[in-house]
Amino acid sequence: MNAIAVKKGWKHYSHRDYSEIVERLAAETGDMELLRLFAMAERLHANYYHGFIKAETFPTYREGVKKLVEKLKGFQ
């Protein structure tokens, strides 16, 4: 996301900036799945500190984040 933001001249220093980046990308492309996948990434990030995701559902979040990364690669 940092690379995309730099390329587009957008701020990319905080979680709020990352959320804005995803919102803008979704609006520009019409790919609203970016919003859902980013929400999964944020939840997985929060889980690192708080440990609330069950082992059985962790793979779902992991796959969502992998899909988000693949989609974001397409913007570079």
Assign 31 a pLDDT band (cuts: 50, 70, 90).
Answer: very high
The predicted structure's pLDDT at residue 70:
97
Q: How far apart are CA 54 and CA 31, in angstroms?
A: 29
Calculated CA dihedral for residues 15, 33, 55, 14, nearest 10 degrees: 0
Q: What is the pLDDT of residues 43-76, one digit of tens each?
A: 999 999 899 999 999 999 999 999 999 999 998 7
